[in-house]
Structure 1
């Protein structure tokens, strides 16, 4: 796992929020606000220990409740910058509905999205490619305006779009990238982006 070998290298930690009260249901949860479950809270408390001796200079977070609760547990005594731009993909009129609901109400669109996951735009929502553009712009802006290591607490879909970009993977394979609740992804920033870890449960190499 990451080690700061060069003084000009920075680490960006992408941290997915904990399990929510909707977990277990096959539901589109984009901008829909929901709170962490008891298990999600406990996961964040355990994860807090990992970051207790890792230097973090800035913390940014989606303004959705599940991410805010996670960040507040992880970085209890740190100033947190909440940003709407860090939200999960916008699922528009499908947001908050179960897969079964959508398949029943919008059967043709449901199939079209499966066939074109990268470009399909849910009514009043956004496609994964549009989410990727937003994610890249937001993260690059954060990096340009900060120094040192940065933690960003957010969402699986949002982080998957960034990972596909850095690894140069076609975004249609986005769901091949695993993002468990409370996982950590590590990006090093030097002259270019380099992914140091994906869907991690712990940091095995800490600052010496």
Structure 2
């Protein structure tokens, strides 16, 4: 029996150091949330789950309201914690260390740590909700790491081409990823 997971990368969010958990969405991001809802509202989604970060929740909130579903948050779906201090060029650091999954900056988390904690949640979701359709509000790097766990061809190039928001439909048979299809269409 196939289980479908819709990974929804959060919409555009204003970057403000120190507000990782609470920052909202830009005006463009808020408009794109309506597109996310339009794309997914007829998919037959049974369950909506999210990272606890506000921008991820806000990106699927319209869908939840449209479907009359609650959003269940999981702390271990949060974005990767990069370091205990401000990083000047975060994307440069991500690119440099992406394939060294055990590397982390001081007081930070490695890709391996982030992948392990998020995959633990995904595996439980797949087992508990087998045969269901599940939407997950997520972040670019953690989404890439989750898909990468099941298919190593999803790496840095995949991360670099992601949009805010973005939507990927993942089809699983038990714990085996069978298909990945991009649903996001900026012209929708």
When normalised by structure 2's length, the TM-score is 0.82
In 2, Cα distance between equivalents of 1:174 and 1:79: 31
Residue in structure 1 matching 2:167, options 184, 195, 199: 184
Which has the larger Rg?
Answer: 1
Give how far 1:184 is off.
Answer: 0.9
Q: Does 1:161 align with 2:145?
A: yes
Contact kept in structure 2, 1:31 and 1:89, CA below 8 Å: no
Contact kept in structure 2, 1:89 and 1:157, CA below 8 Å: yes
Q: How does 1:39-54 map to 2 (within 5 A)?
A: 39-54=28-43
Unmatched segments (≥5 aa) in structure 2: none
Residue in structure 1 matching 2:58, options 53, 69, 74: 69
Q: Secondary structure at the match of 2:155?
A: helix
Residue 205 of structure 1 aligns with which residue? none
Residue 55 of structure 1 aligns with which residue? 44
Q: Post-superposition, which runs of at least 4 consecutive aligned residues in structure 1 deviate over 3 A?
A: 27-33, 110-113
- The total of aligned residue pairs comes to 177
Contact kept in structure 2, 1:20 and 1:66, CA below 8 Å: yes
Residue 96 of structure 2 aligns with which residue? 114
Contact kept in structure 2, 1:11 and 1:189, CA below 8 Å: yes
Q: How does 1:1-208 map to 2 (within 5 A)?
A: 8-22=1-15, 31-76=20-65, 77-94=68-85, 97-100=86-89, 114=96, 117-147=100-130, 148-169=132-153, 174-177=155-158, 178-191=161-174, 192-198=176-182, 200-202=183-185
Give how far 1:124 is off.
Answer: 1.9
Classify 1:36/1:112 alpha carbon distance in 2 versus 1 (closer, same or farther; 3 Å).
closer
Contact kept in structure 1, 2:39 and 2:184, CA below 8 Å: no
In 2, Cα distance between equivalents of 1:196 and 1:174: 14
In 1, Cα distance between equivalents of 2:164 and 2:5: 18
User: Deviation digits for residues 166-191 of structure 1, max 9, x if unmatched?
Assistant: 2223xxx8321122111111211114
In 1, Cα distance between equivalents of 2:141 and 2:118: 10
In 1, Cα distance between equivalents of 2:179 and 2:140: 16
Report the RMSD for the aligned CA atoms in angstroms: 2.6
User: Deviation digits for residues 133-172 of structure 1, max 9, x if unmatched?
Assistant: 1121110011111241111111001111122222223xxx
